[in-house]
Amino acid sequence: MSAQTNELPYKSVRFSETVITELMIPSYSNFGGKIHGGVLLSLMDKVAYVCAAKHAGNYCVTASIDTVDFLQPVEVGELVSLMASVNYVGNTSLVVGIRVISEDIKTNSVKHTNTSYFTMVAKDEDNNLVQVPGLILENREDVRRFLESRRRKELKQNYRKESDAIRMPNDFEQCKLMLGGERCIVSE
Ligand SMILES: CC(C)(COP(=O)(O)OP(=O)(O)OC[C@H]1O[C@@H](n2cnc3c(N)ncnc32)[C@H](O)[C@@H]1OP(=O)(O)O)[C@@H](O)C(=O)NCCC(=O)NCCS
């Protein structure tokens, strides 16, 4: 799909910085009493959308999410804050970096639960891709994040190429031999 292009005024990272804070209530928990990973993912998608749409000045869709590793469990009663900022802009896409922290409001102790990167793509009302404004990098942190994001994008493109090239041999016997050492049995 080709994008409609027009030179837009650049916007600073600060312009679209977004924070969402939400109290973790019992209905968000799993059978183990911790907060569902899906609840956090949904909040991350929301904050990514707000940040991206503010920068783009348009509706945005989530194109991809880079690794979400939950470093520590989140408990019911904690206050989760998701801090989002635009790390990188391409042509019609941009990358939103999200840092998630969770606070025990009784003790004020804060833990970092995860950091992730959402690639969002801007669309107009007719569902056509649209160019996003360029980014004004106002400090060293903005520059570092932009460069790291560009590097992550390159690594991802290389990974995609390698992953597309993964083809197992057609020879079933050979495939079975390749399973040696794995914790599985072939019952066929
Ligand atoms: C994401 C989507 C807009 C890409 O559309 P497309 O026609 O393939 O667009 P293109 O290949 O021209 O890519 C457009 C931009 O998106 C980026 N992009 C597309 N797929 C991507 C991916 N998987 N990861 C990262 N970036 C991606 C491209 O790099 C390009 O960026 P640029 O313009 O800044 O250079 C389209 O696949 C889509 O609408 N997907 C559904 C999104 C959605 O509904 N999300 C909600 C989850 S249900």
Provide the residue range defining the domain that includes 57: 11-137
Structure tokens, 76: 């019911």
Instruction: Map residue 153 onto helix, strand or coil.
Output: helix
Q: What is the mean pLDDT of residues 157-175?
A: 88
Bigger pLDDT: 46 vs 160 = 46
Is the predicted pLDDT of residue 97 greater than 90, yes or no? yes
Q: Residue 168: helix, strand or coil by DSSP?
A: coil
Given a cut of 80, whether residue 2 has pLDDT beyond it is: no
Domain of residue 121, CATH code: 3.10.129.10
Does a structural domain hold residue 29? yes
26 located within any domain: yes
> Is 78 part of a structural domain of the chain?
yes
- Spatial contact of 85 and 162, defined as CB atoms under 8 Å apart: no
Q: What separation in Å is there between the alpha carbon of 63 and the centre of ligand 1?
A: 5
Q: Given a cut of 80, is residue 30 above it in pLDDT?
A: yes
Domain count, the chain: 1
Q: From atom 4 of ligand 1, which residue's Cα is the shortest distance away?
A: 63
pTM score: 0.92
CA of 121 to the centre of ligand 1 (A): 6
For the CA of 90, the closest atom of ligand 1 is 34
pLDDT tens, position by position, 112-151: 999 999 999 999 999 999 999 999 999 999 999 999 999 9
Q: Residue 129 falls within a domain, yes or no? A: yes
The residues lining ligand 1, judged by C-beta closer than 6 Å to any ligand atom, are: 1, 61-64, 90-93, 119, 121, 129
- Answer yes or no: is pLDDT of 33 > 70: yes
**pLDDT (tens digit per residue) in 37-81:** 999 999 999 999 999 999 999 999 999 999 899 999 999 999 999
Whole-number mean pLDDT of the chain? 94
Q: Which residue's CA lies nearest to atom 20 of ligand 1? A: 63
Residue nearest to atom 2 of ligand 1 (CA): 63
Residue nearest atom 41 of ligand 1, based on CA coordinates: 63
- Domain-located, residue 32: yes
Instruction: Assess if residue 187 is contained within a domain.
Output: no
Contact partners, residue 143, CB within 8 Å, separation at least 6: 137
Question: pLDDT at residue 1 above 90?
Answer: no
Ligand 1 center from residue 55 Cα (angstroms): 17
pLDDT of residue 3: 57
Q: Over 27-82, what HEC string results?
A: HHECCCCEECHHHHHHHHHHHHHHHHHHHHCCEEEEEEEECCCCCCCCECCCEEEE
Residue 166's pLDDT band (boundaries 50, 70, 90)?
confident
